[in-house]
Structure formats: structure tokens, C-alpha cells
Structure 1
Amino acid sequence: MFVLTPSATFRRAVGRGGAVAVPQRLRKPVISLACLVAVVAIGWSGTHVWHTWRAHQKIDEACAGLVPAGRVLALSPAGGTISHRTAEEGTIELDAGMPQDCEIFSTKAGEAYRTHSGERWFFTGAVGVLPSDETWKPEDWMDRPLRDQGPNYPDEPLGGGIAGVVTNSGVTVELPCAEGKASGQSIKALWARATLEARKPPFTEDGQVTSHDRDTLARIAVDTANNLAERLDCADRLPAPPENIPALPKGPIPAARAEGTCAWYREGGFARQDGFPDQVLEARTDGKLWDERCLLVLSGAHADGLWRDEADTRHHHPPHPDMVGEWWVSLHTYSGEQAKKVAETVPGKAGHSDDFGWWASSVCDGKPQIHTMTMAYGYEELRKTPFEQVFRAYVSDVAARRDCTDTTLPASSTFHGDH
């Protein structure tokens, strides 16, 4: 038997430079195949580049170049063909006044949600300036701050030294702009918002956006605010937002566990008093926020027990609270331009409003603050008198945390009698 030695095999199979030799009869087919693969790869790459360029163009066109297109395309639903709303209210035109927004669609979102058109609205970028004509006020006493079904999430501060809010679907940031102008008018601040218009899987997790999309939305909001600041000749810019923004915690939680904006309620021992809310929906405290809230809630059992106790002693009593979270107390602290808007709806520095309940005022870090307390319909009738102490404790807590001065509280008489 004839056997090739390893050295002979090596010499025959490997040419100079270490390349594997290809037999003459196979060279032409191999070269043709390689050329075909290269042509396909170049064609695919070219098509991909063109689609990406076109998507960038569509987003820039809709959002006046303010919203970072590359980051929008990094969102989970941003696949396939990208388009935008063609109606005037769905595109940004800075010369037309503020606020403005742009609405972006994709076929990936349309496919996931099986829309008839084949595409779906998945992202909104919005911008505005302060002061504005927008009305600011807390909940009405007939409102329902909690959802009947599904998780309830508090709006959380963004952090990182930025005045910003994270919701279950988006991020809003605010930037001072004392020397800027919009539509020929002087402004004091601007804001930008990035929202994912996705309400269910696969682009959400348990009722809120995913961690990836939450971080991406924060970057989009900050970049958009900085781009708008440049257009309006604002001196300041926002820093990069924090990474790995935590998911929003579900609520409400037992009042005994309150640690954030409702910690004062636990520390004051109010939850241990009969007929007082036993749950809270709270967020982390942040003195930069323009709207910081603590929501006190009576669980179903507590609301039912209070109603039955009062029904035995009153000739007239409110309707039975049949829904989850129907009896509640909402406390807000509004800051800066938003505080001024709330103050416009009521006279004086403190008092009682038929629209939303009690309010107080203060000055924190040179900015006006408005503190409000609204009680749900029915519950106010049964408990408003003892809640004078609750409101005073809340305002005192905020004033201490924010180094507020010139605090003015409503008179005791506003908690007694009919209004």
C-alpha cells in the first residue's frame, strides 16, 4: 500500500504563505460562489443602510430635528418601516408655538399588535416651555387616582441631579432657561418628554416599559431638552441621565412601610388612628420635582368598616365605597412655574377651594411652593376635621426637607363646618 507521509500531504495541500490550494477544476465555481455571496452581502448592507437613513429622515422630519433619531430606533418596537403622523398635531413646528409633539409609527409595532394598517404608533416626543397657558391643579374630589384593575405605579423622580419624572410609559425632564426666547416671548424654563405608546407585551413588562426602553427614553428626553435649549439660546444643559433606572414599585403599600413622600404619615402615627387611611402610594423624595405627591388610601376593609360605623350614628351618610381605593387623600407640593399656575385658581396664600380642597404656600430655595390636600367624595364628609393635623404635618415635613420659609397654612375654621 502506498501511503503519503504527513510532510508530503502538507506540501501538496498548502501553498506558499500557508493558503490551502484549490484544485484547478474547482477554482472557477468557488470564485463564482464567493462573488455571489459578496454581491448579496453588499446588496443587503446597502438596503439596510438605506432603510436606516430613511428612518432617520422620517423622525427628523416629524420632530424638527430635536429628537435623537438613533435613540428612537433603539427602542424595542422600532423595527421594520418607520413613518410618522402626517396631521399637523403629530409633527413639531416650533414657529407654531408651544407645546408641540411628534408621533412615530413602525411596522414592527403594527405586526406585534396585528393592526389593520400594518403599522402602529409607538413613540411620542414632546416639547414645551414655561410659563405656559397649561392649567395645573390637583385631583378633583370626584376623581379616581387609583386604577380599578392592573398595577398602580407612582411617578418616580429621575434623579442624577436632573429635574425629571419617570412614569410607567415615559420620562419628562425640565431645564432652566432664564435668557431664552420662544416665538419672540421670554421664557424661564423648557421641558421635553419621551413616551413609549405601548400598553401591553411584548414591549412592556407587568404594565410598564422594560429596563432597556426606560433608560433609552431617559436619554431621548435629555437629548431632546438639550437640543431645544440650543435652538432657544438657553445657557444651561442637562447632564447625562443615570443608567439602570429602577422599575417603578407597585402600590399602594401598607402605611407602616412608608419611606418616601409619605414617610411623615407613618412617623406621625396617623395610620394607627381609627378611620384613617391604612395604605399609601408614594415615591422617592426629590426637591427638584415640580410636582411631588403622597397618596393616602383606605383599603376596602377599612373603608367598609368606617362607613358601617358612621352609618349607625348619622342620619345622613355618604354612599358606600364599593370600589378599590374609592376613599383617598391626595397631597401635592407644586414648585416654581407650576405652583404659580395652581395659585392662579385660588386667592390668597392659603385657604380652602371648592375645586380641590385645602392649600398652603411657602418659598423654598427662592421658588414659590403650593401644598394641597384633596379628600375623596364621601370620605371628606366623615373625616375632614381631624385632617387639619394631617395637612399641617405634611406641610411641615416638606418645608423641613426643602428648607422652606414664609409658610402660610389655612385657618382652622376651613376644616370645620360646611363649605
Structure 2
Amino acid sequence: MQLPDGIRKSANILLCLVAVAGIGFSGREIWQNLHARQQIDAGCGGLVPAGRVLALDRAGGRITHRRGEEGTIELDQLADEGAQGCELFSEKLGGRWFFTATVGVFPTAGFVVADNVISSPLDQEGGQTYPAQPLGGGITGSVDDLGVTVKLDCPGGELDGKSFDALWARAELHASVLWLEHGQPGGHDRNVLAETAVSTANNLAERLGCAERLPDPPTGIPALPEGTVPVGRTEGTCAWYRESGLAERDGFPDEALEGRVDDALWDERCALILTEAEAWELYYARAGDLELPSDPGEYGDWFITFHTYLGEDARRVKVPRIGDDPITAPHGTAGRGPDRAIWWASSTCDGRPQIHTMTIAHGYDRLLAAETEVLFRAYVTEITDRRGCTDLAFPESDSFRSPLDETTPLHDIT
């Protein structure tokens, strides 16, 4: 049936208007995309893949970058500062900060501080704790509750007359982004962040003249496990505790916060937690005899944490000290922190240095004083045997038996 001329003319006009509107909308989208890419390149030194950043769930509309000395990547400052980062904002989030990329080289002037005796490994804001996990796929990398960090070796590297032998890159979502799924990025964003970190590291390697490149990251990166597991179910970085039989002793932790084992990671972690009920039962049973300086407090306040720092991180480990700067824990040595229940040991694995630390929560250390040495030795022995390490330096027995300094109030412990 043929439409009357008037109706046909009106329909044609409507189609033209729709087409023009579509062209205008498409043009606006194209302009926004080009502007966003320009902003990402400008803020991130041309290192961060703009297309991957724009694929994040909350990247949309107008993208801008922070302007100023901090918040942009300046490679000419990388050698002096050791790290540079860029910060991006998304109109889709009302112009809020939503993404950060950071790059760096090793060695760096910074340092790593071992855990503090009052710094619980659990989220102290009441949220869930998500232990970091290895990225896998043949890449030295780590996935945590905000993003992905990867490392790439570059032996013999040089930047502005300063030598380096490795570089790293990190892609992360800003912590205030409320659309995180259950406190961590969703599956799509985890994959995008891994791709972004790897591409950024490879771009930096090319810019600095490094020969090596990272392979594509694995797809389908699993969500991080939520919280602790009973020690009887440990299979990763805390499995040594279950296998040693120490978990069966009275007063020892009954939960663990662990990651999967990856011997290439720069920081392998295991945290052991005494559940609240067990902690208070232990306190009422023994506190009178020992005159403990504090009670168990809340869930997670009585803990034992273990770290093994590998490679360049092992050269930068410091132990916290009350009211003063932290002290260095040099590779090739072993000892105890000057104030609290923090010990370190060292070893060498495939020619690379390792520092091992153990931190026991304030107050809880008194209850374990007779067995702290066997606990730390069990941890160090397992990881050095597993990695085939040598040149073990372990603290003297007297360092475990010596009385603790309990004269400083908790609020002065830093």
C-alpha cells in the first residue's frame, strides 16, 4: 500500500532527523573517546593502554587526569624517585578519581617495613579481608582487592646513569569507588586490570630498552577468597603450619589468612589468627599468672604474621621501632626487633636474597613466649627447603627467651 504524500514526506523528514541525531551522537562519542585517550596518554606518559582503561566498567563520558607534579608519570624523574603514578577521573562517577597506574624500577631508595605488633592483618573497618593471590600464567605478579601488580626482569638496565635490574607496573581501581563487587573488582575488571598492568610493564620495558617482555596474562582470573580458613584446611602459604602439627597445640591460632604458593613472588605471606572465643578463653585461663599488658580485644587482634621477602624487597626490609625510625634487617643477618615480638631470619635462594619475618601481636606474645622459636623455625625451615635455599641465618635462642619491653603504652607504638 502506498502512503499518502503528506505522510510519506513526514516519515522521510523524521528519518532524516534520526539520522542527523545519530550522526551527532556518534560524533560526540568519537570526540569523547579521542579526548579520553589523549588524557590517558598525557597523564600516564604514553605507557598505559588507553583502550584497556576505557574498557573498565566505570570508565565513561569525559575522562580527565590529575595535573601537577604528583598524579602524572614523568619518566625523567623515575630514576630519582623510583616510582611514578598517574590518576584518572571518570565522568561516569561524577568526575571522581577511579583509576591509578604506577610504574617503578628496582633497586629503589624506598624500603619495606615488616608488620607491626598492633596492626591486625584483618580489615579493621569491619569489612571483609581478601588475601592477595599470585597472578599466574608464567608472570611474576600479584592480584589484590584493588588491582594487579606485575614485575619484569631487566638485567643490566640503565636509566639516567643509574643501573636497575627489574621494573614493575601496577593497575588499580581507587578504593573509594563504591561499585566494587563485595569489596573487590568484578571478573571483567580483574581481567582488564591484569591486561593493563602487563601492557604498561611491556611499554615501559620498550621505553627503557629492556629485552624481556611479559606474556599475555591469564583470562578468567578468579575472585579473591574471602577471609580466613580453619587451619585444618590450609593448602597454600600457611599449609606449613598445619603440616608441622603446631596448630594442634593449646593456645595456638586456629584460623589462617593465606594465598596460593608462587615461589617467584616478592612477598609470600601467611597470617595466623586466634578466633575471638579461643582468644578470650586463653586470656581468662592464663592472664592472671602472666600479667598480660592487654586483653584480646576484638577478632583479629591476637595474630601471628609471617613474610618472606625475595630479591630486591629483601634488601629493603626494616623492622618497626617504638617512637623512632625502623631499623634495617640486613640480608645475611638474623635477629629481633629492639622493642617488640618481631624477628627476622635470612637466606639465599638461587643467588637471590630472602628475608623472613615473624610478628606476634602485643600481649599474645607473652602466652607463646616458650614456643616462639619452634614456631618461627618451622616456618623458615619449610620455605627454605621448598625453595632450595642456603646460607640460613636464624636468630639466637636467647632472642626468643629474653623479656619483652612492655613499658611503652600501646598508643605510642608506631
Query: Is residue 328–residue 379 contact of structure 1 (8 Å, CA) maintained in 2?
Result: yes
Question: How big is each residue's C-alpha offset from its partner over 1:96-139, in whole Å with a ceiling of 9 and x where there is no partner?
Answer: 233111100011112xxxxxxxx100000111110001111211
User: In structure 2, what residue type is equivalent to 1:71?
Assistant: R
Do structure 1's residue 364 and structure 2's residue 349 form an aligned pair? yes
The structure with more radius of gyration: 1
Name the counterpart of 2:165. Answer: 188
Query: Is residue 179–residue 233 contact of structure 1 (8 Å, CA) maintained in 2?
Result: no
- Written as runs of structure 1 = structure 2, the 5 A alignment for 1:38-117 is 38-97=19-78, 98-110=82-94
Ranges in structure 1 where 5+ consecutive residues have no aligned partner: 1-12, 14-20, 111-118
What is the rounded CA distance, in whole Å, between the counterparts of 1:384 and 1:251 in structure 2?
27
Instruction: Report the CA distance shift for 1:33/1:313 in structure 2 as closer, same or farther (over 3 A).
Output: closer
- Written as runs of structure 1 = structure 2, the 5 A alignment for 1:297-336 is 297-314=273-290, 316-336=291-311
Query: Is residue 294–residue 362 contact of structure 2 (8 Å, CA) maintained in 1?
Result: no
Greater Cα offset, 203-212 or 22-31: 22-31
Question: Of 155, 160, 165, which aligns to 1:178?
Answer: 155
Question: How big is each residue's C-alpha offset from its partner over 1:151-199, in whole Å with a ceiling of 9 and x where there is no partner?
Answer: 0111111111111111111111111111322232111111111110144
Name the counterpart of 2:385. Answer: 400
- Give the secondary structure class of the aligned counterpart of 1:312: helix
Name the counterpart of 1:6. Answer: none
Greater Cα offset, 356-365 or 124-133: 356-365
- Give the secondary structure class of the aligned counterpart of 2:316: helix
Superposition TM-score, scaled by structure 2 size: 0.90
Question: Of 304, 326, 342, which aligns to 2:317?
Answer: 342
What is the rounded CA distance, in whole Å, between the counterparts of 1:182 and 1:303 in structure 2?
52
Do structure 1's residue 269 and structure 2's residue 245 form an aligned pair? yes
- Give the secondary structure class of the aligned counterpart of 1:385: helix
User: In structure 1, what residue type is equivalent to 2:76?
Assistant: D
Question: Of 113, 120, 138, which aligns to 1:144?
Answer: 120
User: In structure 2, what residue type is equivalent to 1:164?
Assistant: G
Name the counterpart of 1:289. Answer: 265
Query: Is residue 267–residue 307 contact of structure 2 (8 Å, CA) maintained in 1?
Result: yes
Name the counterpart of 1:115. Answer: none
What is the rounded CA distance, in whole Å, between the counterparts of 2:357 and 2:245 in structure 1?
21
User: In structure 1, what residue type is equivalent to 2:342?
Assistant: G
- Give the secondary structure class of the aligned counterpart of 1:179: strand
Instruction: Report the CA distance shift for 1:311/1:38 in structure 2 as closer, same or farther (over 3 A).
Output: closer
Instruction: Report the CA distance shift for 1:418/1:313 in structure 2 as closer, same or farther (over 3 A).
Output: closer
User: In structure 1, what residue type is equivalent to 2:88?
Assistant: I
Q: CA deviation at 1:141?
A: 1.5
Query: Is residue 199–residue 207 contact of structure 1 (8 Å, CA) maintained in 2?
Result: no
Query: Is residue 55–residue 81 contact of structure 1 (8 Å, CA) maintained in 2?
Result: yes
Name the counterpart of 1:414. Answer: 399
Name the counterpart of 2:321. Answer: none
What is the rounded CA distance, in whole Å, between the counterparts of 1:353 and 1:325 in structure 2?
22
Question: How big is each residue's C-alpha offset from its partner over 1:21-79, in whole Å with a ceiling of 9 and x where there is no partner?
Answer: 77777664444443333222222211111110001001111001111111111111111
Name the counterpart of 2:110. Answer: 134
Instruction: Report the CA distance shift for 1:245/1:296 in structure 2 as closer, same or farther (over 3 A).
Output: same
What is the rounded CA distance, in whole Å, between the counterparts of 1:279 and 1:30 in structure 2?
70
What is the rounded CA distance, in whole Å, between the counterparts of 1:121 and 1:200 in structure 2?
8
Do structure 1's residue 253 and structure 2's residue 229 form an aligned pair? yes
- Written as runs of structure 1 = structure 2, the 5 A alignment for 1:229-244 is 229-244=205-220
Name the counterpart of 2:407. Answer: none
What is the rounded CA distance, in whole Å, between the counterparts of 2:403 and 2:289 in structure 1?
19
What is the rounded CA distance, in whole Å, between the counterparts of 1:321 and 1:264 in structure 2?
25
What is the rounded CA distance, in whole Å, between the counterparts of 1:26 and 1:136 in structure 2?
75
- Give the secondary structure class of the aligned counterpart of 2:135: strand
Do structure 1's residue 167 and structure 2's residue 144 form an aligned pair? yes
Query: Is residue 98–residue 177 contact of structure 2 (8 Å, CA) maintained in 1?
Result: no
What is the rounded CA distance, in whole Å, between the counterparts of 1:42 and 1:311 in structure 2?
76
Do structure 1's residue 208 and structure 2's residue 192 form an aligned pair? no
Count of aligned pairs:
390
Query: Is residue 133–residue 144 contact of structure 2 (8 Å, CA) maintained in 1?
Result: yes
- Give the secondary structure class of the aligned counterpart of 2:402: coil
User: In structure 2, what residue type is equivalent to 1:360?
Assistant: A
- Give the secondary structure class of the aligned counterpart of 2:376: helix
Q: CA deviation at 1:230?
A: 0.7
Instruction: Report the CA distance shift for 1:30/1:312 in structure 2 as closer, same or farther (over 3 A).
Output: closer
Over the residues paired in the alignment, what is the CA RMSD in angstroms?
1.8
Q: CA deviation at 1:410?
A: 1.6
Q: CA deviation at 1:312?
A: 3.1
Superposition TM-score, scaled by structure 1 size: 0.89
What is the rounded CA distance, in whole Å, between the counterparts of 2:65 and 2:307 in structure 1?
36
What is the rounded CA distance, in whole Å, between the counterparts of 1:386 and 1:223 in structure 2?
47
Query: Is residue 118–residue 301 contact of structure 2 (8 Å, CA) maintained in 1?
Result: no
- Give the secondary structure class of the aligned counterpart of 2:210: coil
Query: Is residue 318–residue 381 contact of structure 1 (8 Å, CA) maintained in 2?
Result: no
User: In structure 2, what residue type is equivalent to 1:104?
Assistant: L
What is the rounded CA distance, in whole Å, between the counterparts of 1:205 and 1:377 in structure 2?
34
